[in-house]
Structure 1
Amino acid sequence: MQSVLAKLSLRRTSALGGHKYQCDTCESTCHVYNSCGDRHCNQCSGSKRYDFAERAGKLLLDEVDYYQVVFTLPSQLSRLALSNRESLADLLFRSAWKSLRKTIRSEQGYDPAAIMVLHTWNQKLVVCHS
């Protein structure tokens, strides 16, 4: 969490570099400093979240019930997940989808659809490092 806050505090400052622009007409200059690019930053990732919500919203159909289902890794796997992020995320998505699809097909009798999102914070909004 500390590195995230440190990165956010440097956003749009000379510490992260930037670009110098000069007006061709009046020759005045302007420095535009780089964004932090962190996924937790409202300025840097806010538009990505909005775009995702817009695209996902277009998939929703009127008069269809939607449900949120949460699959959670046990805390005992946190260290393994941190050192094998991509592999474990892929395994989690594939396993969750297989389980969800099998359960819905057998209990409800239809083929489900899903939008899956990896959420890496616990309910207290603390990075899980245990």
Structure 2
Amino acid sequence: LRQGAGPRNPLGRIVLRFPNPYSVYLHDTPSQPLFSKGPRAFSSGCVRVEQPLLLRDFLVSPSEKIRTEELLATETTHEFRLATPVPVLLGYWTVQVDGKGALLYAPDIYGRDPVLMKAMESAL
């Protein structure tokens, strides 16, 4: 089952695919109000981008930007490949340090912390 392009598509107007073993990609969303909510785990594993066209602008040449605007205006599905591939690195952290040195914890929505904790304990 595949939903066609259009204003109600949950992937929004643009999807940024990149090679990875998990079939994860970056995408727009018609649900922009979700960016003001927390926690932010609304997607099914992929990553919603708040300003996907701004990200696109960083990734493409001026002529590619014009071409993608033309493709988006058709409101149909197109595949557009970057002339120069760009590496994508996604990070997943459940703890960070604030400006005062205090630890801030976030929910481990993917359940990765127990494996990490076990690995850290066995390294001691």
* Alignment TM-score, normalising by the size of structure 2: 0.22
The structure carrying a bigger helix percent of its residues is 1
**Over alpha carbons, which structure has the higher Rg?**
1
Q: State the TM-score, normalized to the length of structure 1.
A: 0.21
